[in-house]
Amino acid sequence: MENTKKKESPPGGPMHHFLSLSIFAIALVLVAAPCSAASDENSDAAALLKFKSFVEDPSGALSSWTASVPPCAARGGGSSWAGVICSRGNVRGLQLEHMGLGGRIDVDSLAGLRWLRSLSFRNNSFGDPFPSVGRLGPLKALFFSHNAFSGEIPGSAFDGMLSLKKLHMAGNQFTGKIPESLVKLPRLIELKAEDNQFTGPVPDFKQKLRILDLSYNSLEGPIPVSLSELDPSSFAGNKALCDAPLAPCSSSATPTASSTISPPPPPPCADSQILVLAIVLVSALLLLLFLVALILCLRVQNRSSSNHPPLESIPSLNAASNSSVPNLQKMSSLKDAMDPMGSSPIGSGSSRKAEKLTFVRDYGGGGRRRFELQDLLMASAEILGGGCLGPSYKAAVAAAGLVVVKRYRLMNNVGKEEFQEHMRRLGRLNHPNLLPLLAYYYRKEEKLLVSDFVCRGSLAIHLHYNRDRGQLALDWPTRLKIVKGVAKGLSYLYFALPTLITPHGHLKSSNVLLNDSFEPLLTEYGLVPVINQECSEQLMVAYRSPEYLKNARVTRKTEVWGLGMLILEVLTGKFPANFYLQKGSGGVSDDHPIDHDCQDLAAWVKMGAAAASQAVLDKEMRAPPNSEGEMMKLLKIGIACCEEDVEKRVEMKAAVEWIDEVKEKGDVTDEDFYSAYASDADVPSLRGLSDDFTRKI
């Protein structure tokens, strides 16, 4: 019997080959993927560094752009490069806003970013020539409002940008016609070109534009029918535009045959009768209108007096104002306070129905309800003060309580949409040491910001005004509590507003309010992006820092200097803005005052501290036993924050941690303090004041 042996498949059979090829392909993909990602990352870094070489950066805003660190290597898929937006290891956007940048936008460099989808250069100083953005075909959003561009934009500038959805170029000096290539962009939904000098007709946009703003240019002619249903404000400030939604264009049509047949002229006596009848009717109509207006005025006056009692009849308002705020001027209403001459357009005229307050957070509860602009304007009010950015008013709104209205006229360079977006951003902020923004009112010429009234007034009042009236000065525990709260509020702003170089920008004692329990509330924060740049440089505290006065630049450490100045003001009781050295405190007499720059307070503290440990502290500051060392510890932190060399100045995070560890009283030794709070490089600068100064801790 023959044994039949089954024939086995050879090792090189079809199935074996298929499996081998599959495994090889998968391995090839796994090996190639990281290589491709690394290649993209390297090319993105090279493109960005090349772009940076064409940019003027006086403030060092792009100092984090270095070849040693890839742009998209941060933990969580983000970027450690300022203004760079990453996704899946690739650069997807650049948000270079409010950075003081200038020079030229080099499109050749940006074209090397293959995944780039969004570009924003808003509020900088970039100028001509206009970049050849047509090379950035995949771009979806392009923002370069409020820069220094001028001249005509080529008609074909946007050819090929078939993915572009949003284009903002407001607040420049563009002339000539609006580029026709914009009409050919199929996905365009937003176009903002207001506040330029464009001329010629409005293009016939066929896209379904959600936002179009061509206001305040020099456009002329009829508005295309496709745009007739837009809001009239989209075309405001163009005197030669006509047709819907504006007034109709003047007709020059030839009259029809029937209209050429004129009726026979009336006899002379009929003319006289018609004239007399017209005069009688017009006189009667004017009399009727006068009577109606008189009745309405009387009703409004009665309603105002019943709903809004005078300030003197509101005990809480009167008491608060007398105890915390000097020299208040009382008015019958907020509108009277803001506009004693009756010339303000707020809340008056034909646009009254369109004017409204916009609330940016939930408001209500506890018997409070939302209110309208007219309720606010008719509320009993008084002037709190005239701050450098604009006056403040306290208003008693029926069923809503006491609110503070801050009026700004230095924000007219910012567009409506950008302003509203930033207000919504501020409205989302939530921290126990921030005074919340409740609502705002927008008008191109001026803005109103509304917040709750804080009963104890500002820190400046308690440090400098109340003591002149014989009131007790703040004690050490209260001052420490205030400094800690301010530090926590600043730390939160750094976290919540990471794109702002100076998240507060205007930190001073009058912008720190105190509630019933003396918990500090920061106010006027986050306004640098919407204040006119030339005004912010003249008025805001951040622009009085040593680095700005010497090198015309602000940095992320500028806010640390402001915190240090506030600490020194709290501990010394001296007001930085008008500070003079007295005889015997450093050898400078009254006849030779120091310049009024704020950093002179820091210089005086260092000089006084070197001479005597307690000479610089406020003599009226009451303190419990064993607290002197903690006071001096906080004073040293303030001095470290005021370091004039910005490179040597402490970081905000470290300063906040140091402040948090200061106690009302304690027995921590000097060595413990230095080892816990300072690096080896920091110790000499703090210890070098004097042996006597250091020994007291």
Type of residue numbered 308 = H
Query: Helix, strand, or coil here: 8?
Result: coil
What superfamily does domain 309-453 belong to in CATH? Phosphorylase Kinase; domain 1 (3.30.200.20)
**Contact predicate 487/546, CB 8 Å:** no
How many whole angstroms separate alpha carbon 121 and alpha carbon 131? 12
Residue 687 pLDDT grade (very low, low, confident, very high; cuts 50, 70, 90): very low
Residue 452 has phi, psi (to 5 degrees) of -70, 150
Question: What is the pLDDT confidence band of residue 336, given thresholds at 50, 70 and 90?
Answer: low
Find all residues with CB under 8 Å of 515, minimum gap 6, and list them: 454, 455, 456, 521
pLDDT at 616: 83
Dist. CA 457–CA 468, nearest whole Å: 16
Residue 594, pLDDT > 80, answer no
Higher pLDDT, 194 or 603: 194
Q: Which of 496, 504, 551, 512 is CA-nearest to residue 529?
A: 504
| Mean of pLDDT values over 399-407 | 85
Architecture of domain 473-697: Orthogonal Bundle (1.10)
Tokens of 643: 């370091």
pLDDT at 337: 62
Do 46-242 and 309-453 share a fold? Answer: no
Q: Which residue has the higher pLDDT, 284 or 162?
A: 162
**Which is more confidently placed, 475 or 88?**
475
pLDDT number for residue 338 = 66
Write out the CATH class of domain 46-242: alpha beta
Whether residue 339 has pLDDT greater than 70: no
**Of 601 and 18, which is predicted with more confidence?**
601
pLDDT digits (tens, 9 = 90+) for 351-378: 444 578 889 887 665 556 778 888 888 8
Q: Which segments within 325-459 are labelled E, that is strand?
A: 329-331, 358-359, 380-385, 392-397, 401-408, 437-443, 446-452
Measured CA to CA, the distance from residue 301 to residue 283 in angstroms comes to: 27
**pLDDT tens column, 498-507:** 888 889 989 9
Cα dihedral 432, 435, 439, 440 in deg (nearest 10)? -140
Top pLDDT among 364 and 83 is at 83
pTM for this prediction: 0.52
How many residues would you count in the chain? Answer: 697
Rounded to whole angstroms, what are the CA distances from 289 to 275, 281, 282, 283? 21, 12, 11, 10
Give the three-class secondary structure for 84.
strand
Domain edges within the chain: 46-242, 309-453, 473-697
- The per-residue pLDDT for range 527-551, each reduced to its tens digit, is 999 988 877 777 787 778 888 888 8
Average pLDDT, the chain: 76
Model pLDDT, residue 25: 43
Portion of the chain with pLDDT greater than 70, in percent: 71
pLDDT at 347: 54
Tokens of 98: 């409010």
CA dihedral 103→108→114→120, nearest 10 degrees, is 20
pLDDT in tens, 451-496: 999 988 999 989 987 766 667 889 999 999 999 999 999 999 998 9
> What local confidence, expressed as pLDDT, does residue 77 receive?
64
Percent of the chain with pLDDT over 90: 35
Mean pLDDT is lowest, of 66-70, 144-148, 328-332, 439-443, for 328-332
Nearest to 153 by CA among 135, 133, 186, 175: 175
Structure confidence at residue 229 as a pLDDT band (50, 70, 90): confident
Q: What is the mean pLDDT of residues 625-652?
A: 90
DSSP labels, 219-244: EEEEPPGGGTTS-GGGGTT-TEEEST
pLDDT at 312: 32
**pLDDT single digits (tens) 652-678:** 999 999 999 999 876 544 434 333 333
Q: Which of 168-172, 341-345, 397-401 is the most confident on average?
A: 168-172
